């Protein structure tokens, strides 16, 4: 498989959570189907959010194991200067259009733009940025 021509999906934090906790069988199925033929990744921003949540639940041994399993299956993308550049452009455009995103959501959306990835999210907030990036929902069963 030539990963350069395959679709590239960046999971948002909530979608990763739905996969880990099993809340969305649809998202789990999409992930399993995509892993064989497509690039699936997570922003380091989302990893940070997930790890913060785990720190708040020190006794959640099975959850921690499930998170580590997911993180072992997919690529973790560092947030670099190209993402910072995309962030500046995207934040300015969203502010001008009167459709802001929260800080971390904006960073994740900008990361998808910088990577040329399709953002996988069930979060309706990302609809504000739909004219600037491609968003798909793998958790349509929620």
Identify the pLDDT of residue 109.
94
Identify the pLDDT of residue 131.
83
Sheet holding 39-43, edge to edge: 75-77, 39-43, 8-11, 118-120, 135-136
Per domain, the residue ranges of the chain are 8-136
Backbone angles phi, psi at 136, to 5 degrees: -125, 155
Q: Is 23 left (phi over 0), alpha (psi -120 to 50) or beta?
A: alpha
Q: Which long-range contacts (CB under 8 A, 24 or more apart) does 73-76 make?
A: 73/31, 73/35, 73/40, 74/11, 74/35, 74/40, 74/41, 74/42, 75/39, 75/40, 75/41, 75/42, 76/41, 76/42, 76/43, 76/44, 76/47
Lowest mean pLDDT among 21-25, 50-54, 102-106, 129-133: 129-133
pTM value?
A: 0.91
Q: Which residue has the tokens 């913060």?
A: 52
The DSSP secondary-structure symbol of 117 reads P
Which CATH superfamily, name and number, covers 8-136?
5'-nuclease (3.40.50.1010)
Q: Give 6-39 pLDDT, tens digit per residue.
A: 789 999 999 999 999 999 999 999 999 999 899 9
- Chain-centroid distance, C-alpha 74: 11
Please give the average per-residue pLDDT across 93-99, as a whole number. 87
């Amino acid at each position: 498989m030539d990963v350069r021509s395959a679709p590239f999906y960046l999971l948002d934090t909530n979608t990763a959570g739905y996969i880990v906790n099993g809340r969305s069988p649809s998202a789990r199925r999409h992930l399993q189907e995509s892993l064989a033929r497509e690039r699936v990744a997570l922003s380091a921003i989302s990893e940070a959010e997930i790890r913060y949540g785990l720190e708040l639940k020190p006794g959640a041994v099975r959850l921690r194991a499930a998170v580590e399993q997911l993180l072992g299956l997919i690529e973790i993308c560092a947030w670099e200067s190209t993402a910072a550049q995309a962030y500046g452009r995207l934040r300015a455009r969203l502010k001008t259009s009167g459709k802001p995103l929260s800080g971390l959501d904006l960073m994740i959306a900008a990361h998808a733009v910088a990577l040329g990835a399709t953002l996988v999210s069930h979060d309706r907030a990302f609809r504000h940025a739909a004219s600037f990036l491609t968003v798909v929902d793998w958790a349509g069963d929620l």
